[in-house]
Amino acid sequence: MHPADFDPLSDLPDPSAGLAMDDILRVGGRQATAAQDAIACEQAVALEYNGIAHAALLASPLHLHELALGFSYTEGIIRSPADVLDMDVDTTPDGLVVRMRIVNARLHALKLRRRTLAGSTSCGLCGVQSLAQIRRDLPPLAEPQRPWAIGAVESALNQLRRRQPLHNLTGATHAAAWAEPDGRLAWTYEDVGRHNALDKLIGRLLRETVDPGAGFAVISSRASFEMVQKTQAAGIRALVAVSAPTTLAVRLAREAPMMLAGFARDGRCTVYSRPDYLDLESRT
């Protein structure tokens, strides 16, 4: 199904699936009031490949299939969704386990990789033992067919604020969304981890076989090196962040090349890489 066929809010989960209500005490000045508050759920999520435990993430217990697929792809464990033969999610006393069965060729590559890596977590770089392993060898991104209208970017940002039910209730989650060329948001994913939210979005793009060069990604967090690298690995040509980028993120975006914008809010943004990908005259 094409993203334009989706109800803009239809992919949002029931917020109760990612939060818990707990007793708290609100204190203001000299007054204290007992109440209940919504707290974002954070659980340990282990990823296994053919029985081999490879990664342990701290994540929101939502859209775990998309998370596992996106993580596996952006980390180079798989090269396409077809490399995953089946996937199951099990609940254990210590958390959740996503058990995947991947094709033999990718399992062999994973075993070779594990000989040099101590492990991997949601930060994207933990367990890397040398500087040479930080930067993945990724193909350069092709230029978009045409620049994105500044009006499309503004529209996507305005929608993002309304598409974060977990954040609106708890204030503790990040979001990553996919914007069509005209700025309509097709899918939005939330998670307590910004990397996880982006991996969930990329997992959805893989499932839907969306052309990653057609639209752009919008994130509610800062744009770090790992976030830009995951975006490049997915073939996305533009990343728009509500918060700031880092120096390594800017450098990688320029080398990718992709458009990287930060401080995107209130009708403004700062473009750090490939400003020619942005049409400042067009509102649509």
Our CA angle for 238, 239, 242, nearest 5°, is 145
Is there a binding annotation on residue 216?
A: no
What are the tokens at 173? 């989650």
Q: Cis peptide leading into 165, omega within 30 of 0?
A: no
| 264 annotated to bind ligand | yes
| 269 is an active site residue | no
Is 223 exposed, middle or buried, given 0-12, 13-18 or 19+ CB atoms closer than 10 A?
buried
What amino acid occupies position 43? Q
User: Which residue type sits at 156?
Assistant: A
254 is in an annotated binding site: no
263 has binding-site annotation: yes
State the catalytic residue, choosing from 41, 123, 126, 269.
123
Residue with tokens 């690995």: 233
Helix (H, G, I), strand (E, B) or coil at 231: helix
268 is in an annotated binding site: yes
**Cα separation, 149 vs 171, whole angstroms:** 30
**Sign of torsion over alpha carbons 275, 188, 256, 133:** positive
Q: Which residues are annotated as a binding site?
A: 263-268
Q: Which residues are catalytic?
A: 123
